Amino acid sequence: VDAVMTIVSALIDSLPLLIDAAVQLVTALVEGIGNTLPQLIPAAVNAVTAIVQGLIDNLPMLLEAALQLILGLAQGLLDAIPQLVAALPAIITALVNFLIGSIPQIVQAGILLLTALVQALPQIIEAVTAAIPRIVDGLVNALILSIPLIVEAGVKLLIAL
């Protein structure tokens, strides 16, 4: 207990020195970053430029590698067609069995969907009814704005006859 108390007492006595050291450390870090920032910015720009130039310089090689990858995938699919065809009956059987087994859940989901639609029907009808004047107004405006085009098309049609 005495040893712990001695350590705690020493830490308390040294606390101002520790805080001062921490402030000096943070200050030195900020000053260091501030001093090197003028060199860091051009270095970062140079690094980005070098990366872009490297991509440009190697673009033909990268495109060739991409082409080879695509061709390899295509060839792999072509090579796998016999196995896929052989597995097709098992895949179809599993899919059909899954769907047959899922019919109760599908029917239940359909019932829930229809029930929700029926319950929402008054709101849907109200929204559609409220929108009818805007729809009619939009159609009338579109027709009015289109009259010159309709007349022009009619004239062209009559001239063509």
In this prediction, residue 122 has a pLDDT band, given cuts at 50, 70 and 90, of very high
pTM (predicted TM-score): 0.32
* CA 42 – CA 38 distance, rounded (Å): 7
* Each residue's pLDDT tens digit, 26-61: 888 888 877 787 777 788 888 888 998 998 999 899
> Cα Rg for the chain, rounded, in angstroms?
38
Higher pLDDT, 15 or 81: 81
Which pLDDT belongs to residue 44? Answer: 81
Are 55 and 62 a contacting pair, CB within 8 Å? Answer: yes
* Each residue's pLDDT tens digit, 130-147: 999 999 999 899 889 989
**Torsion angle in degrees (nearest 10) through CA of 9, 11, 16, 19:** -160
Rounded to whole angstroms, the Cα distance separating 161 from 151 reads: 15
pLDDT-wise least confident of 28-32, 106-110, 150-154? 28-32
Residue among 57, 37, 60 nearest 49 (CA): 57
pLDDT at 4 over 80: no
